[in-house]
Structure 1
Amino acid sequence: MTTRPRLRQLEALKSVVDHGSMTRAAKSLEISQPAVSRLLADLSSELGFAVLDRKDGRLVPTQEANYILPDIARLLGVLKNITDTSQNVHDKTAGHLSVACLPGFATSHLPAVVTKFLKTWPDVTITLEPDRPERILEWIVGEQYDCGITDGFDGHPAIESTRLSVRTVCIFPKGHRFQDLKQVDARHLDEERFVHTRRDSSFYRSLHDVFRKASVNPTQVVETRQFTAACELVAQGVGVSVVSELDAQTYKDRLDYRPFVPSVPHEICLVRPIHKRPSKITLDFMEEFKASLSEFKV
C-alpha cells in the first residue's frame, strides 16, 4: 500500500458493513450509490485487497477487512467525539476552566459569579484554587491555570493583566457610633480599634499614607491577609476596618458600613498567561467576572 486510505473511504466501508447494501449505505452517507462504489473500489486498490464479498445477497466484509474494521470503528468514534465536543464548545455547553484566586473570593464573591456563568455554560467543569498572590502569579506564569484573580500585581512579561478598582468602605459593628455618619472620614478613626490588612500589601501602604497625612493613629489590634476575615472580626465586635465594598456587602446582615473618605480603592487584577491562547470559556468567564464588579467600581 503506497497511499493512506481517506476518511470518506473508511466511512463508506463501515456504512456498507453496518447496512448490508450499497443503497442503504448511500442513503446513510447522503451520497449516490455510484459514489459509494467508487469509494470502496479506491479503498480496495489502496489497501491491496478486496474489502467486500457478497453472501446470500448481502454485502459482507472480507476476512482481510475484518482485521481492520475494529480500528476503523475506533477511529470514526474518536472523530465523532471530537466533532461533538467541538460543537458543544461552540454552543457553550462543554469544556473546563481553571481559576486561581485570592482566598476571600473563593468563599464570598466568586460562588455567585460561577453560578451565573454555569447557566450559560451548563456542561463546563470549573476548578477554583485559592491561594496567596505570590503563588497565584507562579501558577499563571507557569500556565497552570487559565486565569487568576489577585491584588498587588506590579506586572510581569509573561502575564496579561486587567486592573479593576473597587470602592472601599469603613465597616463597623452594629450599634457603633459611626452609624449616625453619612460617611467615615479618616480622622474618625483616630485611636479606634482597627483591623487591617497585612503590612506588606499595597492597600495597607495606601491606607497608611492617608492616616499619616490626616495625622491619625488607629489602634491596630489584628492584622489579616483577607478582607473576609476582617469582616468576620468586625462583625464580632473586635474593632472597625476599611475593606472593599464587595466584601462588606456580603456581611451586610452582620455589620454596618459607610463610604470611606478620602477614597482608597482596592486594586484587583484579573490575570492570564500571555503565551497561552485563551479559550472562549476563559474569555467569557473573565468578562463575566468584570461585569460582576460593575456596581462596585470606582
Structure 2
Amino acid sequence: MKKARITQKQTEAFRAVMMSRSMTGAARLLGSSQPAISRLIQDLEAETGLALFDRVGGGLLPTQAAFALAEEVERSFVGLRSITAFAEQLRRERAGHLRIAAVPVLTRGLLARFIVPFMQRHSGYKISVVSASSRLVVEAVTRGQADFGFTAIGMNLQGFSHVGVRGRAVVAMPGNHRLARQNHIAPSDLGGESFVEIRPGTLFATRVEMAFAGIQRQIHYSVETSSDACALIAAGAGVSVVDPLVALEYRGQGLAFRPLAPGVEAGFQSIQPLRQKALVDGSQAYRDARLFDSFIENFRDFALDHIEQLEISQLS
C-alpha cells in the first residue's frame, strides 16, 4: 500500500477550511484563490484515501475522519508555533543562555524538579525550556533552536551524542484494584479491563501496542500522554500502561503502579550535536559546552536515582 505524501500546503488548506467551513473563507485566510484551495483539498483526499467533507447546499460539512485528522494537524501547528516563538525569544537573548527542548513527560515532572537547584548553582545563566514531541525536539536541536534536547529512548541519530536513561513501562490502576495485589502484571491480565489508551504516534505508544498484539482490551478512553492517562485513572476511568517517570509524579495520590511483564521499554535520552572542533579554553563557547555536559550528566544521575527509588518502593 502506497504511503500518503501529504504536503504542508495541503495541511494548511485543510486547517483553514476546518476553521472557516468553506473554500472561499479558507482562500481569504491564506490569501489564495478558491480553486487553488479546492485542488489542495482534493489532492489531500486522494493522498489519504479519506472523504473529508460532505458538500451540503452551499457549504461544507466535515466528516468524522476530518475531525480526527484536524486534531493531529492542530497538534503539529501548535508544536511548530511553540518552537518558532521559542527561537524568536532566544535570538533576543544574550550569551549565557541554556536552551532545552524536551518531551512533556520530563518538562511536567522530573526535569522541572531538577532545573531549579541546578540553576541556583549556575546563577550567571538564564534557561529556556520548550515542551514538544520527540520529533519536534530533534527539529529544534537540528536547527540550532535548542542547545540540546531530551527525546524518547531509542532515537539513534547520526551527528548527535546520546545519553540514555532506560526504564520499564508500568501498569497504572486505582490503589484498590484487584491486580494491585500482584507484583507483576502480564498484558493478558488486562484483557477485558476498561483501558485508557495513549494515542498512537509516539515510540512509547507503539511499543505498548506491540505488547498487546492479539489481546482484546476495552478501550474507552484515548489520551495524549501518560500524565493524562493517570489523571483519568485517578478519576476512576480504569487502567493503563504508562511511562514510569509519570508514576513518580502520581505516587501517594491513590494510584498503584506495577511493572508490566514482559517489559516494555520506556525512558528518555539526551541529544546533542557532536562538536566538530576543539573549543578555546576559557571562551564563552567553552563555558557553555561545559555547562551543557554537566546538565546532561547530572540530570541522568538524578533520573536514575528516582527510578531506582520507584522500583524499591514496589511502585505503590
**Separation in structure 1 between the aligned mates of residue 165 and residue 180 of structure 2, nearest angstrom:** 29
> Is it true that 1:196 corresponds to 2:197 in the alignment?
yes
Structure 2 portions without partners, runs of 5+: 1-94, 277-284, 312-316
Matching residue of 2:232? 233
Structure 1's 113 and 211: CA in aligned 2 closer, same or farther, altered over 3 A? same
TM-superposed CA distance for 1:202, in Å, is: 2.3
Matching residue of 2:166? 165
TM-superposed CA distance for 1:263, in Å, is: 1.0
Matching residue within 286, 291, 297 for 2:301 = 291
**Separation in structure 1 between the aligned mates of residue 116 and residue 267 of structure 2, nearest angstrom:** 24
TM-superposed CA distance for 1:285, in Å, is: 0.6
TM-superposed CA distance for 1:153, in Å, is: 5.2
Structure 1 or 2, whichever has the larger Rg, is 1
Matching residue of 1:139? 140
What amino acid sits opposite 1:231 in the alignment?
C
TM-superposed CA distance for 1:152, in Å, is: 5.9
Counting only pairs closer than 5 Å after superposition, residues 104-115 of structure 1 correspond to structure 2 as: 104-115=105-116
TM-superposed CA distance for 1:273, in Å, is: 2.1
What amino acid sits opposite 2:197 in the alignment?
H
Does the Cα contact within 8 Å between 1:168 and 1:264 map onto a contact in 2?
yes
Counting only pairs closer than 5 Å after superposition, residues 50-61 of structure 1 correspond to structure 2 as: none
**Separation in structure 2 between the aligned mates of residue 169 and residue 200 of structure 1, nearest angstrom:** 19
**Separation in structure 1 between the aligned mates of residue 183 and residue 191 of structure 2, nearest angstrom:** 18
Aligned Cα RMSD in Å?
Answer: 2.3
Counting only pairs closer than 5 Å after superposition, residues 1-298 of structure 1 correspond to structure 2 as: 95-151=96-152, 154-212=155-213, 215-254=214-253, 255-275=255-275, 279-295=289-305, 296=307
Structure 1 portions without partners, runs of 5+: 1-93
TM-superposed CA distance for 1:146, in Å, is: 1.0
Structure 1's 149 and 178: CA in aligned 2 closer, same or farther, altered over 3 A? same
How many percent identity over aligned positions? Answer: 24
Structure 1's 136 and 264: CA in aligned 2 closer, same or farther, altered over 3 A? same
Structure 1's 181 and 133: CA in aligned 2 closer, same or farther, altered over 3 A? same
1:168-215 CA-to-partner distances (Å, cap 9, x unmatched) read 211102322222222222121101111222323222232222222xx4
TM-score by length of 2: 0.59
Does the Cα contact within 8 Å between 2:164 and 2:300 map onto a contact in 1?
no
Does the Cα contact within 8 Å between 1:99 and 1:147 map onto a contact in 2?
yes
